[in-house]
Amino acid sequence: MNKFIRVNMETLEATVGSVPEKYVGLGGRALTSNFVNDEVNPTCHPLGKNNKLIIAPGLLSGTSAANSGRLSVGAKSPLTGTIKESNTGGSSSQMLAKMGIKAIVIEGVPKEDKFYIIKVTVDGVSIDEAPQEILGGCGNYDAIKILGEKYGDKVGMALAGPAGEYKLASANISFKDPDGNIRSAGRGGLGAVLGSKRVKGIVIDPEGAEPVPIADPEKFKAAAKVFAKALMDHPVSGQGLAAYGTDVLMNILNEAGGLPANNFTGGRIEHNDNISGETLNATITERGGEGKVSHGCHKGCVIRCSQWYSDKQGKYVTSGFEYETIWGLGADGGIKDLDIIAYIDRAMDDIGVDSIETAVAVATAMDGGLIPWGDGDMVLQIVKDMAKPTPLARIIASGTTVVGKVCGMFRVPVVKDQAIPAYDPRSVKGMGLTYATTTMGADHTAGYCVSGNILKVGADIDPLKKDGQIEYARAMQIGTAAIDSSGMCLFVYFGIADNPGGYQALIDMINAQYGLELTSDDLDELGKSVLKVEKDFNTRAGFTNQDDRLPEFMEYEPLPPHNEVWDFTPEEIDQVWNF
Amino acid sequence: MNKFIRVNMETLEATVGSVPEKYVGLGGRALTSNFVNDEVNPTCHPLGKNNKLIIAPGLLSGTSAANSGRLSVGAKSPLTGTIKESNTGGSSSQMLAKMGIKAIVIEGVPKEDKFYIIKVTVDGVSIDEAPQEILGGCGNYDAIKILGEKYGDKVGMALAGPAGEYKLASANISFKDPDGNIRSAGRGGLGAVLGSKRVKGIVIDPEGAEPVPIADPEKFKAAAKVFAKALMDHPVSGQGLAAYGTDVLMNILNEAGGLPANNFTGGRIEHNDNISGETLNATITERGGEGKVSHGCHKGCVIRCSQWYSDKQGKYVTSGFEYETIWGLGADGGIKDLDIIAYIDRAMDDIGVDSIETAVAVATAMDGGLIPWGDGDMVLQIVKDMAKPTPLARIIASGTTVVGKVCGMFRVPVVKDQAIPAYDPRSVKGMGLTYATTTMGADHTAGYCVSGNILKVGADIDPLKKDGQIEYARAMQIGTAAIDSSGMCLFVYFGIADNPGGYQALIDMINAQYGLELTSDDLDELGKSVLKVEKDFNTRAGFTNQDDRLPEFMEYEPLPPHNEVWDFTPEEIDQVWNF
């Protein structure tokens, strides 16, 4: 990966340069966060001309390593105002890596009121005007088809959906996956940044791409085998996720009393059977839609958590149908019909909005009186309305904080204006520390303490107690920052957390690819450095320790059934950053 | 003023205690800001149970001093997240002072889902359930009538209008004035705080109130005479404001090229004659509505800036019809009909929303495509819709930042989420420094540098140059904090800025009332201490120097006709706080 592409949308010119020395050893989140901290003025407006968006494959992307096909996107977030790294599956990461492209940077805004398509090939970059028919409300599914007809079926794509065009703060970036469906760099509104630069899409044509060079192929192959086996050997990454998808967590969190319900006023629901992973699996099996059940979001995935959800006629509805989405609509918003939830999930992918932010915004709006509790039909209509947004659709697509504002609420489940996902901090306390302290705003993937708190993978910590949580949240965030830089799916953690050989194999693969001699200490240092770079950006943007706090209501509204409140003191929370 | 009232809305109990020693020498903003900094947790949610609202007359309130009838309200702001002092005219300040009431504090939230009326008399405090007919959309004009029938015509009132009931961030607190009309503690959403405590209104029954005790009545009387003469001798406070109202500024700012137009994309308009103070005066004179023209917002006002605006049939429409409101709708939003603007102003008073925040939100929404430019009929309907708020009405009533979010905009004229008023910082640079650095979010009344920049009262500074602006913005903010603590209307500044005798008379009145020997240095120290107390709160709430910045677009979008950008560096801006 020796090419560093810069696309200037003001001049409509692109340059393909060599990789700046400082970024040569970096990939994924390490690269995007360093770049944003280096080149973006932390006090700039996220939707103004001075923000920059960067897309970068991970260190191992494009290789045969299992689950190495994730892609990082970075910018200043219009949702949170913080630095943001959001990563995704799909086919683009592996294509870019094989095309030798370390990163694509998009900067400036066009002078004319037009939208553009950036086309990237091994020979260079061109900028076309976007076809009119994919603008002004055209969904991503149709846009992928139309662009496929123009640019060929084999291209990768990154799209700003309608929400991105309108620069709404929940807009994600939608990536074409190997099945021609949609994967998303979901959180933090990066689709709005793409839309602000008037980039409707990036088309990646891999024609002429070559295998990623490997310094020591034999060593790589051996390590890759050990690594893949580690993933397959663990019951979560080897069996549970493939069988039930991430929605396997529904019954687990419900049992644990950590499943936020009715806008974070309860921790357990009665209708869990309607929306659980077991029900999801049974429905998919029964319907047998197009012969697919579980599959991966990118080539080389051995975990295959993505579920292929079809309707009663067996016709594809959605995939990448995640626990957090089903939780947000089904438990936090009380929509009891899995089919309706699936249609809403599809609509969110089609419009291009983060399904977590949107689902939590919906549940908050129900609590605020804007939407009747559990009214899935109305929610589906609101999401569809985002194509030509009504005022209500704009409110929901602007995220949970805006919903809280327009409803005059104090029970607004956000940190740094980003919605808290599917694990209540009052009964999964380690998770609360990650929400509070991550540089990203509330984000379970920034340090998934559910693992040791609930699943008992990698650690065994009482979720209702403070003991050990600070150290654990710190370690999980550091480790995650390193994994996010490797191009690996976060779920590889299950395979390597309790398997030192699996972890060593991950390091061995990096060393074999690049001819390095890294140790686990080096990965640890990498993770720490990424977090510190991100914190530096946020501090210069005006964030302080006072922003590292959960919403106040969690301190005085006990969560049934355990009736716990959030009781970490500010001083304790701040200790997460003692490294 | 020896009574300090605390109303606990959780227990529905009130106590009338003596004034805490620390607060004995304080009044108005000095008292409210010290109290909020002492008792409100800076990181609390403004609409949650831990915020507190305090209402306090100024030091001179209730006396015969001209223009001493202002009342301060303080709390943590739901609009800005900062400390907030918002002051108002009306009759309540003088009543409270004569009843010996130093302050009313409202804390906690009720357990039941009901609204209440707090009734304050010389004998104590009672809490009634609010009449059903004034809830759920009843406008303030009707509510004042209904409460007047219940509590008597002579009572003072402070109301949360519909916007306050719904806890929307632009909600003001509406005070009954001597004519039975409405004056507002406008900025920062304090009506939403009142609504969050489920206080529909405060009724103040002055029965049995006595004259405010004066330590040296003769000295007071002499000083009051000198002071009133100083106000009358100055052309602005003695003539201009009475003749044309604050809208006298329309042509002045237009001529200066500092009149923000079309959401801060221009600095001058062509249709200024439609909406100028001269036209306002001619219209009022021609219509002769109910025999009133200019008048004061409280008894004892000699400036009488308030204009009594009637419709073509001579029927009262609105008063307190300010330049900033007319500017926001008429110049920034391009509504060219003064009658429509007056109806909107009345509707905003009736609903209880800050007319500056709402007008700027409207203009921003026009730029964002939510409302057609200049469509006054639609704006009037949106404001009326706030009574039972539609999604669009909620968006507008939530303020300019929310409008910017739902429209995906970067041209959002706010500082600390509060709308920038009617003086463009690029061509009235001193004003920009106040907007950036005041503890209140963008607020022209926090240090009215228009005075020396444009009106050449108190100073003569080139509005397009940086020279002298830092020192001036600092001095104006310090002086204003002192005036805001005295109970004086800010416009007394015009009478004392260039008249040392007038200023000395103000000090003499305070000394005569309380038996003190304060000097101008003491008032200066008072102003400084108020600002530092407020800054302390904001810092503990998580605000930093990075929040003391104007919106980024002003740094790169030059403002016609002078084509100036905002060019103070961060380091220069921060010098305002060097005291």
Q: What DSSP string runs through B143-159?
A: HHHHHHHHH-TT-EEEE
Q: Find the residue in B nearest to A541 (Cα).
A: B546
CA distance A554 to chain B (A): 11
What pLDDT is attached to residue A219?
Answer: 98
Look up the CATH architecture of domain B258-424: Orthogonal Bundle (1.10)
Inter-chain residue contact A546 with B541, CB threshold 8 Å? yes
Fold of A247-424: 1.10.569
Inter-chain residue contact B408 with A167, CB threshold 8 Å? yes
Please report residues of B whose CB lies closer than 8 A to that of A546.
Answer: 42-43, 540-542
Q: What does the angle CA A297 – CA A301 – CA A307 come to, to the nearest 5 degrees?
A: 45
Taking alpha carbons only, the member of A418, A427, A407 closest to residue A446 is A418
Q: Report helix, strand or coil for B560.
A: coil
Counting one residue from chain A and one from chain B, the pairs whose CB atoms sit within 8 A come to 116
Q: Find the residue in B nearest to A193 (Cα).
A: B408
pLDDT at B221 over 90: yes
Please report residues of A whose CB lies closer than 8 A to that of B48.
Answer: 410, 552-553
Please report residues of A whose CB lies closer than 8 A to that of B169.
Answer: 405, 408
Inter-chain residue contact B552 with A48, CB threshold 8 Å? yes
User: How many CA atoms does the CB half-sphere of A479 hold within 13 Å?
Assistant: 25
Q: Which residues contact B253 (CB under 8 A, 6 or more apart)?
A: B259, B327, B422, B423, B428, B450, B454
> Which of A49, A409, A547 has the CB atom closest to B542's CB atom?
A547
Over range B70-97, report the average pLDDT. 97
- Amino acid letter for position B365: A
The share of chain B scoring above pLDDT 70, in percent, equals 100
Is the CB of residue A1 less than 8 Å from the CB of residue A63?
A: no
Is the CB of residue A218 less than 8 Å from the CB of residue A190?
A: no
Reported as a single tens digit per residue, the pLDDT across B431-441 is 999 999 999 99
Inter-chain residue contact A402 with B407, CB threshold 8 Å? no
What pLDDT is attached to residue B288?
Answer: 82
Largest CA distance in chain A: 61
Inter-chain residue contact B408 with A547, CB threshold 8 Å? no
User: How many CA atoms does the CB half-sphere of B69 hold within 13 Å?
Assistant: 24
Among 2.40.50.100, 1.10.599.10, 1.10.3720.10, 3.40.50.11540, name the CATH number for the domain at B216-244+427-579. Answer: 1.10.599.10
Q: Find the residue in A nearest to B386 (Cα).
A: A406
R_g over Cα of chain B: 22
Please report residues of A whose CB lies closer than 8 A to that of B391.
Answer: 370, 390-392, 394-395, 406
What pLDDT is attached to residue A290?
Answer: 75
Residue A158: beta bridge partners? A175, A202
Inter-chain residue contact A49 with B406, CB threshold 8 Å? no
- Bond preceding residue A235 cis, omega within 30 of 0: no
CB atoms within 10 A of CB A210: 11
Q: Report helix, strand or coil for A105.
A: strand
CA distance A46 to chain B (A): 8
Q: Which residues contact A472 (CB under 8 A, 6 or more apart)?
A: A430, A433, A449, A452, A459, A461
What pLDDT is attached to residue B270?
Answer: 98
Inter-chain residue contact B45 with A553, CB threshold 8 Å? yes
Homologous superfamily assigned to A3-204? Aldehyde ferredoxin oxidoreductase, N-terminal domain (3.60.9.10)
Q: Rounded to an integer, what distance in angstroms lies between the CA atom of residue B243 and that of residue B241? A: 5
Inter-chain residue contact A370 with B390, CB threshold 8 Å? no
Please report residues of B whose CB lies closer than 8 A to that of A43.
Answer: 546, 549, 552
Reported as a single tens digit per residue, the pLDDT across A286-316 is 998 777 778 899 999 999 999 999 999 999 9
What pLDDT is attached to residue A289?
Answer: 77
Inter-chain residue contact B168 with A406, CB threshold 8 Å? yes
Q: What does the angle CA B55 – CA B58 – CA B64 come to, to the nearest 5 degrees?
A: 130
- The ranges of chain B annotated as CATH 1.10.599.10 are 216-244+427-579
A309-315: long-range contacts, CB 8 A cutoff, minimum separation 24? A309/A280, A309/A283, A309/A284, A309/A342, A309/A345, A310/A284, A311/A287, A311/A339, A311/A342, A312/A287, A312/A339, A314/A287, A314/A288, A314/A289, A314/A290, A315/A289, A315/A290
Tokens of A152: 């060929």
Look up the CATH architecture of domain A215-244+425-579: Orthogonal Bundle (1.10)
CA distance B146 to chain A (A): 26
CA distance A371 to chain B (A): 11
Inter-chain residue contact A552 with B43, CB threshold 8 Å? yes
pLDDT at B448 over 90: yes
CA distance A76 to chain B (A): 13
Interface test with A, best of B406, B537, B573 (most A CBs within 10 A): B406
What pLDDT is attached to residue B294?
Answer: 83
Please report residues of B whose CB lies closer than 8 A to that of A556.
Answer: 49
> Which of B42, B395, B408 has the CB atom closest to A192's CB atom?
B408
Kindly report the pTM of this predicted structure. 0.98
Q: Rounded to an integer, what distance in angstroms lies between the CA atom of residue B381 and that of residue B510? A: 47
Burial (CB count within 10 angstroms: exposed 0-12, middle 13-18, buried 19+), residue A89: buried
Q: Rounded to an integer, what distance in angstroms lies between the CA atom of residue B552 and that of residue B233? A: 42
CA distance B168 to chain A (A): 5
Q: Which residues contact B65 (CB under 8 A, 6 or more apart)?
A: B220, B224, B227, B300, B488, B509
Q: Rounded to an integer, what distance in angstroms lies between the CA atom of residue B263 and that of residue B407? A: 13
pLDDT at B359 over 80: yes
CA B433 to chain centre: 19
Q: What is the ipTM of this complex?
A: 0.97
What pLDDT is attached to residue A209?
Answer: 97
What pLDDT is attached to residue A42?
Answer: 98
> Which of B42, B43, B45 has the CB atom closest to A410's CB atom?
B45
Burial (CB count within 10 angstroms: exposed 0-12, middle 13-18, buried 19+), residue B274: middle
Q: Rounded to an integer, what distance in angstroms lies between the CA atom of residue B256 and that of residue B464? A: 10
> Which of A50, A391, A551 has the CB atom closest to B395's CB atom?
A391
Q: Rounded to an integer, what distance in angstroms lies between the CA atom of residue A92 and that of residue A112? A: 28
- The ranges of chain B annotated as CATH 1.10.569.10 are 258-424
Which residue matches tokens 């280096």?
A: A38
CA distance A568 to chain B (A): 15
C-alpha torsion sign, points A331, A332, A337, A339:
negative
Is the CB of residue B13 less than 8 Å from the CB of residue B107?
A: no
The backbone torsions φ and ψ at residue B197, rounded to the nearest 5 degrees and listed phi first, read -90, 5
CA distance A399 to chain B (A): 9
Q: Find the residue in B nearest to A538 (Cα).
A: B546
Inter-chain residue contact A395 with B390, CB threshold 8 Å? no
Please report residues of A whose CB lies closer than 8 A to that of B549.
Answer: 43
User: Would strands A101-107 and A52-57 be described as parallel, antiparallel, or unpaired?
Assistant: antiparallel
> Which of B399, B406, B541 has the CB atom closest to A394's CB atom?
B406
Inter-chain residue contact B408 with A169, CB threshold 8 Å? yes
What pLDDT is attached to residue B290?
Answer: 75
- DSSP line for B493-533: HHHHTT-HHHHHHHHHHHHHHHT----HHHHHHHHHHHHHH
Please report residues of A whose CB lies closer than 8 A to that of B351.
Answer: none
User: Would strands B199-204 and B116-121 be described as parallel, antiparallel, or unpaired?
Assistant: parallel
CA distance A130 to chain B (A): 20
User: How many CA atoms does the CB half-sphere of B129 hold within 13 Å?
Assistant: 6
Q: Find the residue in A nearest to B368 (Cα).
A: A166
Taking alpha carbons only, the member of B188, B79, B171 closest to residue B387 is B171
The backbone torsions φ and ψ at residue B208, rounded to the nearest 5 degrees and listed phi first, read 85, 0
CA A26 to chain centre: 20
pLDDT at B289 over 90: no
Please report residues of A whose CB lies closer than 8 A to that of B42.
Answer: 546
Inter-chain residue contact A405 with B169, CB threshold 8 Å? yes
CA distance B110 to chain A (A): 15
Inter-chain residue contact B553 with A48, CB threshold 8 Å? yes
Is the CB of residue B56 less than 8 Å from the CB of residue B74?
A: yes
Taking alpha carbons only, the member of A4, A15, A1, A2 closest to residue A127 is A15
Please report residues of B whose CB lies closer than 8 A to that of A549.
Answer: 43
What pLDDT is attached to residue A570?
Answer: 98
| Regions of chain A short of the pLDDT cut 70 | none
Which residue matches tokens 């398997």?
A: A499
Please report residues of B whose CB lies closer than 8 A to that of A416.
Answer: none
Is the CB of residue A578 less than 8 Å from the CB of residue A478?
A: no
Inter-chain residue contact B406 with A402, CB threshold 8 Å? yes
Q: Rounded to an integer, what distance in angstroms lies between the CA atom of residue A578 and that of residue A568? A: 16
- The ranges of chain B annotated as CATH 3.60.9.10 are 3-204
- The ranges of chain A annotated as CATH 1.10.599.10 are 215-244+425-579
Inter-chain residue contact A541 with B546, CB threshold 8 Å? yes
Q: Find the residue in B nearest to A48 (Cα).
A: B410
Question: Across all residues in chain B, what is the average pLDDT?
Answer: 97
Please report residues of A whose CB lies closer than 8 A to that of B168.
Answer: 406, 408
Tokens of A278: 């077991």
Is the CB of residue B241 less than 8 Å from the CB of residue B248?
A: yes
Interface test with A, best of B166, B410, B411 (most A CBs within 10 A): B410
Buried/exposed code over B182-219 (b: 16+ C-beta within 10 A; e: otherwise): bbbbbbbbbbbbbbbbbbbbbbbbbeebeebebeeeeb
Q: Rounded to an integer, what distance in angstroms lies between the CA atom of residue A353 and that of residue A173? A: 8
pLDDT at B1 over 90: no
Tokens of A35: 């770049």
- DSSP line for B160-190: E-HHHHTT-TTB-EEEE-TTS-EEEE-TTSH
What pLDDT is attached to residue A292?
Answer: 76
Please report residues of B whose CB lies closer than 8 A to that of A397.
Answer: 406
> Which of B45, B48, B391 has the CB atom closest to A391's CB atom?
B391
